Chains A and B, each alone.
Chain A
């Protein structure tokens, strides 16, 4: 039996979640990257909500900008949901592994 080295399995890191979070702070732990990405999604949701409320209250609104904001928020939310699903799958896969 040769030398069997067992290295710990690194958790899967979705590439884009890491790229949306700026690495300038130097702290690029996965948890940090994820929470930064989620707060960006939240920002976009708030912006889109503000645009919707402005239209509803009759304030003059830049329709093109509003449409872009709403779409950005939708797409980033969908993306976050997919990331969550993949993470869940990976976790379940891990749990299923036999030691």
Chain B
């Protein structure tokens, strides 16, 4: 069976998974914006040397994102910066979904011959 789906679809799916995991971490930051002693976190991924090579990329890891500002009781969640990160991440998610959708639409078009 010839592969209908090239590496772009795999890469997009992986990107989407990462983005939705990152949203979980950022949402956890927001939920704990008033919790004493809570340190803000973020999900990062190491840049793979060749994303489309087919080998599994390294797992993303959770790091402390040092926002710097120490709030009451040692909580260092900077609300505005977290909101900025969430907005950027949401935009990435929407972009990836659009790209995926257009990949599938192209395929369907070519298969059905109907434009």
Contacts and interface: CB of A to CB of B under 8 A. Distances in A.
Contact of A57 (B15, B105, B115): B15
Interface residues of B, number: 27
Interface stretch (A10-18, A29-37, A80-88): A80-88
Nearest to A53: B11
Name the residue in A54, A55, A82 with the highest tally of chain B Cβ atoms < 10 Å from its Cβ: A55
Contacts of B7: 49, 53
Nearest to A54: B51
A67 B10 CA distance: 20
Interface in A58-80: 58-59, 63, 70, 73-74, 77-78
Nearest to B7: A53
Secondary structure class of chain B's binding surface, majority of residues = helix
A83 B61 CA distance: 49
Contacts of B106: 73-74, 77
B45 A49 contact: no
B47 A70 contact: no
A63 to B, nearest CB: 8
Given A49-B6, A77-B106, A55 B95 contact: yes
Contacts, number: 59
Nearest to A61: B95
B103 A53 contact: no
B15 A55 contact: yes
Contact of A58 (B12, B45, B103, B110): B45
Secondary structure class of chain A's binding surface, majority of residues = helix
Contacts of A59: 47
A98 to B, nearest CB: 27
Interface of B: 6-8, 11-12, 14-16, 18, 45, 47-48, 51-52, 57, 92, 95-96, 99, 102-103, 105-106, 109-110, 113, 115
